[in-house]
Amino acid sequence: MKLSDRLKKWDVLYFFLTNNKFKIGIGILLFFILLSIIGPFFVHYKPYEFAGEMGTPPSLGHPLGTNPFGYDLYSQLIVALDGTWLIGLLGGGIATLIGLLIGFFAGYEGGFWDELLMMLTNILLVIPTIALLIIIASFLNSRSVVLESIIIGLTGWPWVARAVRAQTLSLKSREFVSLSKISGAGTLKIITQDIAPNMLSYVFMVFILQFGGSILTIVGLSFIGLGPTNSVSLGGMLQDSVLWNALILGYWWWMIPPGVVITFMVASLYFINMAMDEAFNPRLRSM
């Protein structure tokens, strides 16, 4: 039993290490992690500090150029990157946690609670999150990065709840769970020893998706002008660039880098998720 378990673990690990999607995904992710660790050493200006030149393309002094107000765009990008990580981790984490609790409880208890919680989940699922976020954020005068993460987490959980409930329902009727029940194991023991280990990979995958989803949500929200008010954000940089005619002026260094960062950050998470999906669902490994 122990040996086969260990072999099985190695099998998944082996699959990860030979999976190109995983390698690409983790590579891109590591690049951005390194960028936020090493990047600040090369930041010489505050995000909203006049950096000497206005509207200049990338140069040695300003790796990503400056905007027409003379702000150094590299400094803005690096600072915005921190906020993006925080929102992904916190927003995705809160959504996953709430969704996990509600979905698991509904799926495991069944009956009345299941009906009630799923009705609530489905109702919240239909109401567009963005509309809800807009109405909440527009009435808040000061919005910190943490506050926005919490709001995004609180509105993002219905997806998780649905997925976790479906997984719980399928796990709960498996034979090994019935066996534990027959042998008189308590609910807590069944949950921690039979269900949780089988659920862990799944929940982690859901978390990764929520991480990416939260980043895309905050980018959209900041672009509408409802982003964090206490710091720079990637969406806010893009909003500035559009509002101050970067498109007509052709300041590509203002509008391209933030979008590239968002796209590849989120894509790397999706790649890792896809690789995990293939590792745990061998049927999807078509290549």
Partner 1 sequence: MRKYLTRKILIYLITFFIAASLDWAIPRVMPGNPVSLIVSRFAQNSSGSAQASLITKQMFDYFMQAFQLNKPWWEQYGLFWRNLFTGNLGISMYLYPKPVLSVILSAVPYDVLFLLPSILLSFWVGNRIGAWAARNKRADNALLPIFYILTSVPYFWLGILLVWVFGTILHVLPMSGAFSYSMTPSFTLAFIFDYLKHWILPFLSLFIVALGGWAIGMRNMIIYELESNYSRYMGSLGASQRLIRKYSYRNAVLPQVTGLALQLGTIVAGAITTEIVFSYPGIGYILFQAIMNKDYPLIQGCFLLIIIAVLLANFIIDVLYMFIDPRIRIAYTEG
Asked if 125 interacts with partner 1 (CB under 8 A), we say yes
219, 232, 237, 279: which one binds partner 1 (CB under 8 A): 219
259 makes contact with partner 1 (CB under 8 A): yes
Among 64, 94, 70, which residue's Cα sits nearest to residue 217?
A: 94
For the four alpha carbons of 40, 45, 49 and 52, in that order, the dihedral sign comes to: negative
Instruction: Name residues whose C-beta falls within 8 Å of residue 87's C-beta, 6 or more positions apart in sequence.
Output: 145, 148, 149, 152, 214, 215, 218
CA distances from 251 to 200, 231, 283 (A): 46, 22, 47
- The site for partner 1, by CB under 8 A, has a size of 54
C-alpha–C-alpha distance, residues 95 and 82, integer Å? 20
Can you tell me which of 27, 40, 52, 250 binds partner 1, judged by CB under 8 A? 250
- Binding residue (CB under 8 A) for partner 1 from 3, 60, 131, 188: 131
18 binding partner 1? (CB under 8 A): no
Q: Which phi and psi (to 5°) does residue 71 adopt? A: -85, 140
User: Out of 30, 116, 140, 179, which residue is the one contacting partner 1 (CB under 8 A)?
Assistant: 140
Residue 105, amino acid: F
Q: Which residues pair with 287 in a beta bridge?
A: none
Q: Does residue number 24 form part of the binding site for partner 1 (CB under 8 A)?
A: yes
Q: Which residues bind partner 1 (CB under 8 A)?
A: 21, 24, 119, 122-123, 125-132, 134-136, 138-141, 212, 216-217, 219-220, 223-226, 235, 238, 241-242, 247-248, 250, 252, 255-256, 258-259, 262-267, 270-271, 274, 283-284, 286-287
